[in-house]
A and B are shown apart, each in its own frame.
Chain A
Amino acid sequence: MADGQKGQIVAGCLAPHPPHLVYADNPPENEAYSEGGWETLRWGYQRLARKLKNIDYDAIVIFTPHWQTYIGTHFLGLPQFKSKSVDPVFPNLFRYNYDLTVDVELAQAMHDEAAAQGIITKMMKNPDFRVDYGTITSCHLLNPEWDKPIVTISSNRNTHYYSPEVMVEQATALGRACAKAIEESGKRVVLVASHSLSHRHFVEEAPLPEDMSREHIYNHSQYVWDMKIIEMMREGKSREVIDIMPEFTEQTIAETEGGGLIWMLGAMGYPEFPAEIYGYQSVIGTGNVVACWDPNDETREYVL
């Protein structure tokens, strides 16, 4: 932490969390065993993880759609969580033993700033709370050493309760509040929006889930939408991505409904520089891109 210096967002990552990607990696923390699979995404993730190793930062702040709260936005509020995360939908793939640390000071600062701006908030201080598998998966893939503290922010269910347009307003406001708190904290922070793009799943699973001869996008419409969004990301049109997001979310039942990407791009002030694209692939029919917004002109790359 640089004393007296303004804090800053040093990178923003769109980091999808199909548990399949951890399963395919066979890390010692996960109980299930696989023969691999989904390399396009996993190798992209590995490259982004290497990039993050070369960035100086203090904490990861991650917004997850699998901690779903109806009464405001919640923040992890205890310094350590240790337990086993079992995916409720794919328990056959993901039973991950985690032991993670939280930057409670930063969480509290974001909570307080959001509350000051009229956003309903809550600190989560129950030691028995199980951290959601979206957080675990995205953080494992971006930083398998778990050597940085994290803060998880819950997804308030604005899209379902009100509309995708209300989600844009609310998540943007939350993003701005978080950015202000980060600036005042003096910390260097990596933001993570943990989710897929198009999000229609197959409701059947191959006998061998990692059988890549069975993997493909749910339908072509989902693919065309995903490509449109990625093209705009590449062109630095993040404001346009947000503008089209309500329609994208409705047309592809996209996981953007949780608000993560809106929150992140809002916090970063709608970057006009191109996003780095690390890979796109389907997982059980859903569309997933690994992408990074690097505000540093010196280190930003054309990856794919």
Chain B
Amino acid sequence: MSESNEPEILFGIYCPPHPQPLLSPDASAGYGKLRAAFDECRRRIEESEADIILVYSTTWASIIGHQIQALEKAVWTHVDDDFHYLGSMPYEFAMDTEFAHAMKANCEKRGLEARTVEYEGFPIDTGSVVALQLLNPENRIPACILSSNMYANRAETIVLGKAARDTLAAQGKKAVVVVVSSLSNRMFTEHIDPAEDRIHSQKDDDWNRKILEFFGDGRLEDLSQLSRDIHGQIRVQKVVAYKPAWWMAATMGQHNNYDGEVLAYEALHGSGGAVITLTPASGSVGDKEFDEDDVEFYRGDRNVLDKGMLE
């Protein structure tokens, strides 16, 4: 599949999934700064000519391939599993159903298992609810949400991003790309006073700041290449890999030609929460040979053991 037909990505946003910036922004100075950064992103989206907000959420785990939210009007009241005492999150989101269905078809063309979900009461995850409530409160722009398959590794995730590019290009839609994910994701396992929130460890903080340096320099593909290291160093091993930078790079373009801006970096119950924007630009930083292979089609498990069997 060639990329002669380039999609128009206006900018990308990387933001945290925790509900504090939505539900309790005044509980600490840090939560307030994250909220202000979300608000700034909302203003930029309003001023842009975006046709769609495309969300990839690490808190929406899927098993059967890649799930795509397609319900035209998704209405519910969401409550977080841990932070239920901070309050409920009523929502009413407008989804771009046309995009969702085409996205499914394009995933399948590239070898991915994919399906749309269109059910009243489907439990949209905390991260997606927080992001869409704060970034697009009036539903001015239709959205689409993509799940994060818990078994998927790099090849699948890169191909998922490319399928998103195919779809945006084919429909001629200008997109704001939103990745919902923490940086370091280790939280404190006890209740804390929000005013005393801090990053869980010095190591997590050091890594987060290094990642933010890369984002600030617009080095998205470099971060994508570093994903496995990031996973090993500062991610609780809940899923097989740290995938957000893979998907973001594959969707926005696998290079370092971005203007990056870190709008906020604060602790969210110990985890690293950052609101970052990346805007496609000219000029690139540190163009190097990349270690990781590029992938156009997903061909499933490689069945290495079967192939290695002696006759």
A residues contacting B by CB (< 8 A) are: 67-72, 74, 84, 86, 88-92, 95, 120, 122, 124-126, 128-130, 154, 156-157, 160-161, 201, 203-205, 284
Q: Does B190 contact A (CB under 8 A)?
A: yes
Contact B65 A88 (CB under 8 A): no
User: How close is A3's CB to chain B, nearest CB, in angstroms?
Assistant: 35
Of A72, A84, A126, A129, the residue contacting B191 (CB under 8 A) is A72
B151 an interface residue at 8 Å Cβ cutoff? yes
Minimal Cβ-Cβ distance residue in B for A286: B63
How far is it, in angstroms, between the C-alpha of A161 and the C-alpha of B149 when the chains are bound? 20
Closest to B186 in A: A161
Contacting residue for B121 out of A95, A204, A284, CB 8 A: A95
Q: Is the CB of B88 within 8 A of A120?
A: no
Q: How many residues of B contact A (CB 8 A)?
A: 35
User: Which residues of chain B (201-247) have a CB below 8 Å from chain A?
Assistant: 236-238
Q: Which 8 A-B pairs have the closest CB atoms?
A: A128-B88, A126-B84, A129-B79, A84-B121, A128-B77, A91-B119, A86-B121, A89-B63
Chain A residue with the shortest CB-CB distance to B187: A70
For B236, the chain A residues whose CB sits under 8 A away are 157, 160-161
For B90, the closest partner residue in chain A by CB is A128
Task: Find out whether the CB atom of A160 lies under 8 angstroms from the CB atom of B237.
Answer: yes
Closest Cβ of chain A to B122, distance in Å, is: 5
Contact (Cβ within 8 A) A69 B81: yes
Question: In the bound complex, do residue B187 and residue A203 qualify as a contact, i.e. CB atoms below 8 Å apart?
Answer: no
Q: Does the CB pair A71–B84 fall under 8 Å? A: no
* Nearest-Cβ distance from residue B153 to partner chain A, whole angstroms: 12
Please name 12 further chain A to chain B contacts, defined as beta carbons within 8 Å, in addition to the given A71-B189, A84-B120, sorted by A numbering.
A70-B187, A71-B190, A72-B191, A88-B61, A88-B62, A88-B123, A126-B79, A126-B84, A161-B186, A201-B63, A203-B63, A203-B65
User: Could you say which residues of chain B place their CB within 8 Å of the CB of A201?
Assistant: 63-64, 151
Residue contact B117 to A91, C-beta cutoff 8 Å: yes
In angstroms, Cα B149 to Cα A68, docked, is 18
Contact of B64 among A69, A124, A154, A204 (CB under 8 A): A204
Q: Which residue of B lies closest to A68 (CB)?
A: B81
Docked pose: A88 CA to B81 CA in angstroms: 14
Closest Cβ neighbor of B66 among chain A residues:
A203
B189 CB contact (under 8 Å) in A68, A70, A88, A203: A70
Residues of B close to A160: CB separation below 8 A: 236-238
Residue of A nearest to B301 (CB): A203
Q: Is the CB of A120 within 8 A of B85?
A: no
Quick check: is B60 within 8 A (CB to CB) of the other chain? yes
Q: Shortest Cβ distance from A57 into chain B, in angstroms?
A: 28
- Docked Cα-Cα span, A161 to B186, in Å, equals 8
Q: How far is the CB of A55 from chain B (nearest CB, A)?
A: 31
Interface on chain B toward A: helix, strand, loop, or mixed SS?
loop
Contact: A95 with B189, CB < 8 Å?
A: no
Number of A-B contacts defined by CB within 8 Å? 89
Q: Per a CB cutoff under 8 Å, which of B61, B84, B119, B186 touches A95?
A: B119
B269 at the interface (CB under 8 A from A): yes
The reply to whether B238 and A204 form a contact with Cβ atoms under 8 Å apart is no
CB atoms of B63 and A86 under 8 A apart:
no
Q: How far is the CB of B238 from chain A (nearest CB, A)?
A: 5
A126-B84, A160-B237 as given contacts; A71 in contact with B187, CB under 8 Å: yes
Task: Give the chain A neighbours of B149 by CB distance below 8 A.
Answer: 203
* Residue positions of B touching A, CB distance < 8 A: 60-65, 77-79, 81-82, 84-85, 87-88, 113, 117, 119-123, 125, 149, 151, 186-191, 236-238, 269
| Contact A204 to B65, CB < 8 A, known contacts A69-B81, A129-B79 | yes
| Shortest beta-carbon distance from B296 to chain A in Å | 20
Contacts of A203 in B (CB 8 A): 63-65, 113, 149, 151
- State whether A126 and B85 are in contact (beta carbons under 8 Å apart), knowing that A71-B189, A72-B190 are contacts in the complex: yes
Name the distance in Å between A64's Cβ and chain B's nearest Cβ. Answer: 11
Residue of A nearest to B84 (CB): A126
Asked whether A125 lies within 8 Å of B85 as measured between CB atoms, the reply is: yes
Identify which of A70, A91, A122, A204 contacts B85 (C-beta below 8 A). A122
> Considering residues B81, B113, B237, which has the most beta carbons from chain A within 10 angstroms of its beta carbon?
B81
CB pair A89 B64 closer than 8 Å: yes
Q: A69-B82, A160-B236, A204-B113 are in contact. Are A89 and B62 (CB under 8 A)?
A: yes
Task: Determine how close the nearest CB of chain B comes to the CB of A126; give it in whole angstroms.
Answer: 4
Q: Which residues of B contact A74 (CB under 8 A)?
A: 81-82, 84
Q: Shortest distance in angstroms between B278's beta carbon and chain A's nearest beta carbon? A: 29
10 contacts between A and B (CB under 8 A): A71-B191, A91-B122, A95-B121, A128-B88, A154-B81, A160-B236, A160-B237, A160-B238, A201-B63, A205-B64
Chain B contacts for A70, CB-based, 8 A: 82, 187, 189
Chain B residues positioned under 8 Å from A69 (CB to CB)? 81-82
Given B63, B78, B191, B269, which contacts A120 in the complex, CB threshold below 8 Å?
B191
- Which chain B residue has the least Cβ–Cβ distance from A209? B64
Q: Smallest distance from the beta carbon of B115 to chain A beta carbons, Å?
A: 8
Q: Which residue of A lies closest to B62 (CB)?
A: A89
- Distance of A209 Cα from B196 Cα, bound (Å): 49
Q: How far is the CA of A59 from the CA of B282 in the complex (A)?
A: 65
Smallest CB–CB gap between B53 and chain A, Å? 21
